[in-house]
Each structure stands twice: as structure tokens, then as C-alpha cells.
């Protein structure tokens, strides 16, 4: 659905050249919810804004739904852009217009017949759960409601793609969750491809199927979300994932424990729990769970639990070797 080839964006600022996007190649398939993560200044917004030519690339190609955008005339680009919706961190609503008027504005701009507009506005507001707020002004809405208007407006002209630049960063966790749910629903219902930028891996974990990690204008790692979470290659990727998967054991526990402390990894659909108890029983080793964390990523479990193993030294070693063989892996935290 979206193909970026050798995409480069440079800005000239106070006589200096800044390369915000550096030779990026990226393929986003139809129906993907594609996440782009990176720290501030990595070039995420620049990359996203090149996808609808809000920023004109310095070099490279931007192909959306089979159309090379950089080759289009002004008028052709205007039409192509109607099929690329966008939502923003600060919503960018027209404050002097009501909710219904904000949505109608995009329909009018796209040349929709006047008599068809009210019906379509109603349909859209229903979809985002704001039918009862049609006559409210943006100032009378909560942040989450404003973003719902943003979404209704962005999808008004049945776009192929929805670009989201930190669309939930200004919202509290609960509201974020409800907006992510709405995006997921729209993705399914309308088979809409969604690209979303975020600095929170939590958001990626929640709704994306693929993710790219960006640093200094480049994509340093890219892949399926489960694969990236379970086996990150780059230290930057690991930093992001740690924010979701991190845990710490109190020092006191590590010091006072007389047994062997191991971390047993969970992956995909492996029935680790049964395996663990079988192994411990067969080796006559006792296991005491100290900590555990399981995240569900696209409905597949990913996580670990930390156990203290006690018993004869040889038996404990045998149990660790067996566990390592039969589970997704064991890390000895304290021998």
C-alpha cells in the first residue's frame, strides 16, 4: 500500500543542512497497522509527512496505492491526498466550527454533493461514537472526544491510508486505550491501512502488527511486532521494549535466597507451566515463584517467570538444563 524508496528529507536551517530522513526504504502492506517508534528528533514526523507530501522529499519515491506522489501535478496531488487521512497530536480542529461542521468541511473540500453531506456526517459521527455531540464546539469536548472528531474527519472521504502522528500522546492512558480501540475497529471494518508514530512501545504492543525503529533519520530495525518484542537485535529496540517488559527483583530477595534463581521464558503457545512442574517433579527439585510477567502481543503470550529452585546441587543443575531444553529458554540469575 505504501512504498518508500530511497526517501531522503533534508532541511536547511540557519545555513546548516539537517538530514531528517536518510535513505529510507519501507514497505507497508494493505491492512497493516504499522508503528514507527523513535526518540524525539529521530525523524518520525518528517517521514510520516513525506507519505502525503505535506513535506516534499529531497530525494526518493513515495508510492501510495500504486501512485508515485512526487510525480503528480498540483491538482493530481490534491485528489490523491483526499485518500490519505491524517490525525495529529493536538487534533487540529477548526475551533469556530461545530463537530458536524468540522467533519462536513472535508467532505465539501472533496466536492461531495451538498445533499449527501449531512447523512455522511451522521454516519461518521456514529462510527466514532459522537452522534450526540454533533452541535458541540471543540472547546466543549474532552481530548479523547476531540481526537474522535479528528478521526471522523480524516476518514470522511474513504481514504486508503490513515497517518497518525502521536495521536494519543496528549491523552491519559484510559483515553489512549479507547482511541486505540477505535483505530483497531476502523482498521478491521474499513480495511484501512494505518501508519502510526509513537514514542511509546505500549501503543505498538496494543495495536500494531509491524513496527520500525528509527534513529537519526534511518530505520535501524523493522519486523513483525511479536518477533521484534521477543527477539530485538538493536540496543535501541531493546531500550524501547524494556519499558514494557522490564522488571526488577528486590535486592533483598536475591541476597536472602539460598537456592538457584532462574528466569524461564515464555514464547507463543508453548505450555510452559506444565513443562516446568513436570521437570521439577522428575528432578525432585522444589520451585518457588518469585516474579512473573506475561504480556499478550497479538494474542500470543510473551514473558517470563522467575523461580527459586532448591534441592540437591546435581538435581538442580539437571533441572535447569532440562528446562532450558524444553522451554523457550532459561537464564540463570543466581547460580
Ligand X SMILES: Nc1ncnc2c1ncn2[C@@H]1O[C@H](COP(=O)(O)OP(=O)(O)OP(=O)(O)O)[C@@H](O)[C@H]1O
Stretch that binds ligand X, among 39-47, 78-86, 228-236, 256-264 (CB under 6 A): 39-47
Q: Which does 11 bind (CB under 5 to 8 A by kind): Mg ion, ligand X, none?
A: ligand X
Q: Which does 18 bind (CB under 5 to 8 A by kind): ligand X, Mg ion, none?
A: ligand X
- Residue 20 or 151: which CB sits closer to ligand X? 20
User: If you write DSSP's letter for every residue of 224-276 in order, what string do you get?
Assistant: EHHHHHHS--SHHHHHHHHHHH-----HHHHHH--SEEEEEEEETT--HHHHH
CB of 251 to ligand X, least distance (A): 35
Is residue 198 within 8 Å of 186, Cβ to Cβ?
no
Q: Which does 300 bind (CB under 5 to 8 A by kind): ligand X, Mg ion, none?
A: none
Kindly state whether residue 45 participates in binding ligand X, applying the rule CB under 6 A: yes
Backbone angles phi, psi at 194, to 5 degrees: -120, 130
Where in 196-255 is the site for ligand X (CB under 6 A)?
A: 199
167-to-155, 179, 186 alpha-carbon distances in Å:
14, 9, 15
Stretch that binds ligand X, among 43-51, 118-126, 258-266, 327-335 (CB under 6 A): 43-51
Kindly state whether residue 20 participates in binding ligand X, applying the rule CB under 6 A: yes
Of the residues 22, 33, 35, 43, which one makes contact with ligand X according to CB under 6 A: 43
Where in 25-54 is the site for Mg ion (CB under 5 A)?
A: 45
**Which residues, listed in sequence order, are joined to residue 85 by a DSSP beta bridge?**
162
Half-sphere exposure of 150 (CA within 13 A, CB side): 25
Q: Give helix 272-283 / helix 313-326 axis angle, nearest 10°.
A: 160
Q: Which does 160 bind (CB under 5 to 8 A by kind): Mg ion, ligand X, none?
A: none
Element (H, E) at 9: strand 2-13
User: If you write DSSP's letter for every residue of 102-137 in order, what string do you get?
Assistant: HHHHHHHHTT--GGGHHHHHHHHHHHTT-GGGTT--
CB of 119 to Mg ion, least distance (A): 36
Q: Which set of grid coordinates corresponds to residue 127?
A: 462510527
Q: x-or-dash pattern for Mg ion, window 60-99, by CB under 5 A? A: ----------------------------------------
Kindly state whether residue 56 participates in binding ligand X, applying the rule CB under 6 A: no
Kindly state whether residue 44 participates in binding ligand X, applying the rule CB under 6 A: yes
Calculate the CA 208 to chain-centre distance: 5
- Residue 19 or 65: which CB sits closer to ligand X? 19
Kindly state whether residue 138 participates in binding ligand X, applying the rule CB under 6 A: no
Q: Cβ of 24: how many Cβ atoms within 10 Å?
A: 22
Q: Which of 7, 70, 79 is nearest to 36 (CA)?
A: 7
- Residue 199 or 318: which CB sits closer to ligand X? 199
CB of 228 to ligand X, least distance (A): 18
CB of 27 to ligand X, least distance (A): 20
Kindly state whether residue 11 participates in binding ligand X, applying the rule CB under 6 A: yes
Stretch that binds ligand X, among 11-19, 178-186, 250-258, 312-320 (CB under 6 A): 11-19
Instruction: Tell me the pairing of strands 193-198 and 33-37.
Output: parallel
- Residue 42 or 167: which CB sits closer to ligand X? 42
Q: Which does 258 bind (CB under 5 to 8 A by kind): Mg ion, ligand X, none?
A: none
**What is the three-class DSSP state of 37?**
strand
Kindly state whether residue 57 participates in binding ligand X, applying the rule CB under 6 A: no
Is residue 80 within 8 Å of 64, Cβ to Cβ?
yes
Instruction: List interacting residues with ligand X (CB under 6 A).
Output: 11, 13, 18, 20, 38, 40-46, 199
Contact set with Mg ion (CB under 5 A) = 45
Amino acid at each position: 500500500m505504501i512504498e518508500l524508496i530511497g526517501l531522503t528529507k533534508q532541511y536547511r536551517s540557519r545555513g546548516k543542512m539537517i538530514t531528517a530522513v536518510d535513505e529510507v526504504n519501507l514497505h507497508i502492506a494493505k491492512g497493516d497497522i504499522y508503528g514507527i517508534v523513535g526518540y524525539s528528533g529521530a525523524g518520525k514526523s518528517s517521514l510520516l509527512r513525506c507519505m502525503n507530501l505535506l513535506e516534499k522529499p529531497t530525494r526518493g519515491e513515495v508510492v501510495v496505492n500504486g501512485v508515485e506522489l512526487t510525480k503528480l501535478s498540483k491538482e493530481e496531488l490534491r485528489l490523491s491526498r483526499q485518500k490519505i487521512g491524517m490525525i495529529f497530536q493536538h487534533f487540529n480542529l477548526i475551533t469556530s466550527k461545530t463537530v458536524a461542521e468540522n467533519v462536513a468541511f472535508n467532505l465539501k473540500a472533496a466536492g461531495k454533493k451538498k445533499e449527501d453531506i449531512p447523512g455522511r456526517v451522521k454516519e461518521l459521527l456514529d462510527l466514532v461514537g459522537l452522534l450526540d455531540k454533533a452541535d458541540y464546539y471543540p472547546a466543549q469536548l474532552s481530548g479523547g472526544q476531540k481526537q474522535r472528531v479528528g478521526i471522523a474527519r480524516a476518514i470522511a472521504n474513504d481514504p486508503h491510508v490513515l497517518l497518525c502522528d502521536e495521536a494519543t500522546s496528549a491523552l491519559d492512558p484510559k483515553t489512549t486505550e479507547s482511541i486505540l480501540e477505535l483505530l483497531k475497529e476502523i482498521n478491521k471494518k474499513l480495511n484501512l491501512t494505518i501508519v502510526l508514530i509513537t514514542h511509546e512501545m505500549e501503543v505498538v504492543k496494543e495495536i500494531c502488527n509491524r513496527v520500525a525503529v528509527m534513529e537519526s533519520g534511518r530505520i535501524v530495525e523493522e519486523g513483525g511486532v511479536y518477533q521484534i518484542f521477543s527477539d530485538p537485535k538493536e540496543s535501541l529496540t531493546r531500550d524501547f521494549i524494556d519499558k514494557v517488559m522490564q522488571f526488577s527483583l528486590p535486592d533483598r530477595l536475591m541476597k536472602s535466597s539460598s537456592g538457584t534463581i532462574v528466569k524461564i521464558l515464555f514464547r507463543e503457545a508453548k505450555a510452559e507451566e506444565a513443562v516446568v512442574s513436570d521437570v521439577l517433579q522428575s528432578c525432585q527439585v522444589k520451585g518457588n515463584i518469585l516474579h512473573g510477567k506475561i504480556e499478550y502481543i497479538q494474542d500470543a503470550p510473551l514473558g517470563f517467570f522467575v523461580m527459586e529452585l532448591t534441592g540437591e546441587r546435581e538435581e538442580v543443575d539437571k533441572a535447569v538444563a532440562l528446562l532450558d531444553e524444553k522451554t523457550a529458554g532459561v537464564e540463570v540469575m543466581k547460580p
